[in-house]
Structure 1
């Protein structure tokens, strides 16, 4: 199975919200950081800015009930695509 990682927080997904070609976002939200795919992460600079704001605000989960017990942001952030770091 191929995983896709959120461009902002590195959360892994089974399918890309950017579609099979990587160019057709579905404008859904990341369960972790709350980024709107295709809007807040449309460019590497936009993803970095959103990440900076998310981290400065405490890196709270957008959907808190989805947060895994014992979750730590550092390992997840390590999964970021180098282009979006």
Structure 2
């Protein structure tokens, strides 16, 4: 199964919120960083800007109850698609 990674924080998803061709966002929200797909990650610059603010806010999970006990921020950030780093 191919994974899709959040353009802002690198969280992995089983299904792309940007659709099968990576061009039709569902406008859902990343459960980790809180980015709204298609709004906060619509471009490289918007993704980087949102990430910078999220990291400045201590990389708090948007849905804190979903944060894994063994969460590794650096490992997750390494999953951000190269184009959006």
Where on the TM-score scale, by shorter chain, does this alignment land: which range?
A: over 0.9
Extract unaligned runs of 5+ from structure 2.
none
Q: CA RMSD in A?
A: 0.5
Extract unaligned runs of 5+ from structure 1.
none
Counterpart in the other structure of 1:72: 72
| TM-score, scaled to structure 1 | 0.98
List 4+ stretches of structure 1 deviating above 3 A.
Answer: none
The answer to whether residue 6 in structure 2 is matched with residue 3 in structure 1 is no
Counterpart in the other structure of 1:51: 51
Cα distance in 1 for residues equivalent to 2:47 and 2:84: 7
DSSP 3-state at the match of 2:71: coil
DSSP 3-state at the match of 2:45: helix
Cα distance in 2 for residues equivalent to 1:23 and 1:72: 29
Q: CA deviation at 1:71?
A: 1.1
| TM-score, scaled to structure 2 | 0.98
Counterpart in the other structure of 2:15: 15
Counterpart in the other structure of 1:81: 81
Cα distance in 2 for residues equivalent to 1:71 and 1:4: 18
Q: How many aligned positions are there?
A: 85
